[in-house]
A and B are shown apart, each in its own frame.
Chain A
Amino acid sequence: MTIAYSFKSAFQSLCREKWINILSIFTVASSLLIITLTAFFLYNVGLIANHLPERFSMVAYLKDNLSKEETQNIIDTLKRRGEVVSLKYISKEDALKELKQTLKDTGYILEGLNENPLSSSIEIKLQKDFVSSSNVKKISEEIKKTSGIDDVYYGEKVAEAIHLLKKSLQNMSIIIFLTISTGVIFVAYSTVKILFYRKREEIEIIKLLGATKGFIRMPFLVEGGAIGFLGGVLGTIGALLFYFAVTYRLSVVIPMLKTLVFPFEMLIMLPIAGIVMGIIGSVIAIGRLRL
């Protein structure tokens, strides 16, 4: 019964104190919209970043004059390593052919060479979880020790950049989420505190009638949760409008935008996050007040 009263009382208060509540709801909605748009941006950058390690590879240059058997042994040894996804053997003849294709019009540079100066090599693709500068360095040093391998080339900076990008995205999303969540909680906290003071007289009467602290607090918690929920719903609508505007309208001008993916989980998560943040703000506000 107390629950029904709390919901009724919170609803009446939302209507009665409509301006302060509308202001709070829009503030919460804007904050949650910023979280959603950040998540939307980071999610898409993350998708791209996730594909980068798949393109990363290292190259092991083989010593000259290895027999077919020795080369196969090296390939088998590398294949047995857990972090290796695939291998591609490139003979010195294929390497030269590829170089010529790359040079195209400036192919004359290679004229006058009596012999092929390039080495045979093995292109190694690693599992994406292993693509970090420290891992790649360690793996390359281990591979270098394999008999028949002359040198190992790996894009240390590329690996580091990929790793850094992923790490930065994670950190950035955590910082933005925490900052804005704190803001939303503070909005709920302030609103509930103001509403509490505005109802001070009413609360005094209810106390004299024999209301428990729980009975007095419950409508404020419901109201805080409702502000968060409504803010979340508005934020969700805003985020959807933004997404459709980007993918349907702006993509006419910038076709690449059509490939953007919206994390639709956010549609459910946003109102839930709003409720949780609203209730946390209310709990702090009511907890600090003397009843």
Chain B
Amino acid sequence: MIAFHNVSKYYDQSVLKSITFTVRKGEMAFLTGPSGAGKSTLLKLMYLAEWPDEGDIVIGDFHLQSLAESQIPFLRRNIGVVFQDFKLINNLSVFDNVALALRIRGVGEKDIKNLVSEALKKVHLRHLSDSNPRSLSGGEQQRAVIARAIVAEPLVILADEPTGNLDPNTSIDIIKLFGEINFQGTTILIATHNRELFRNRGKRILKLDGGNLVGEEVG
């Protein structure tokens, strides 16, 4: 479950203004709005790459307002993040990139082997397990990132413009993949300005503009 209560964030000027919304457990929702609307900042507040200036955010059992700095890693372990620029480590294989999310959690190598294989299978990338990320196409790299995000079965998956660098067909494939993951019970929030991705999917769409939550609808 994700809950925002009157959350504001300022830089030189207000970026997010008193945002309040909830994404229920197991729901898949889209966050949309033009460039500069504050979508990425809103996601960053959830995994504390940025700190809110006002209000409280709740992710599962974590109340971010009162979260100690030492607890941040444990919050992040409950959130799988899919970045637009992938953020894969290029000197590790696809397998090791995905395995890193488990190694951080202290999972044993035998379990890592099984879990990573399973995650790569889900994103249809098992055959490229030993490849270097640089040798993969954009779509394949994004699948590897999704595998890394889901491998430890987090409470929530956040995707920041996950199809921003991909062609339309691959983008649709990636969104379908998120649909499959959501079907298994994972809460997903996808930030995108691409309307084609959420059209006719029956999912809730939160609209952000100029740092304000201006409305929501079902797409």
Contacts and interface: CB of A to CB of B under 8 A. Distances in A.
A202 B89 contact: yes
Interface residues of B, number: 22
Interface of B: 47, 49, 73-77, 81, 87-89, 91, 100-101, 103-109, 148
SS class of chain B's interface: helix, strand, loop or mixed?
loop
Contacts, number: 44
B103 A210 contact: no
A208 interface: yes
A217 to B, nearest CB: 13
A211 B104 contact: yes
A197 to B, nearest CB: 16
Contact of B104 (A12, A16, A202, A209): A209
8 contacts: A1-B106, A1-B109, A4-B109, A5-B103, A205-B87, A208-B47, A210-B105, A215-B104
Contacts of A1: 103, 106-109
Contacts of A210: 73-77, 101, 104-105
Contacts of A211: 73, 104
A140 B88 CA distance: 82
B186 to A, nearest CB: 16
A208 B72 CA distance: 9
Interface residues of A, number: 16
SS class of chain A's interface: helix, strand, loop or mixed?
helix
B76 A205 contact: no
Q: Which of B76, B104, B107, B108 has the most CB of A within 10 A?
A: B104
Nearest to B88: A205
Contacts of B106: 1-2
A16 B81 CA distance: 28
Given A1-B108, A16-B91, A202-B89, A208 B49 contact: yes
B81 A208 contact: yes
B93 to A, nearest CB: 11
Contacts of A202: 89, 91
Contacts of A5: 103
A206 B103 CA distance: 10
A2 B81 CA distance: 22
A210 B70 CA distance: 11
B68 to A, nearest CB: 13
Interface in A193-211: 202, 205-211
Contacts of B73: 207, 210-212
A208 B104 contact: no
A153 B89 CA distance: 81
A215 B105 CA distance: 10
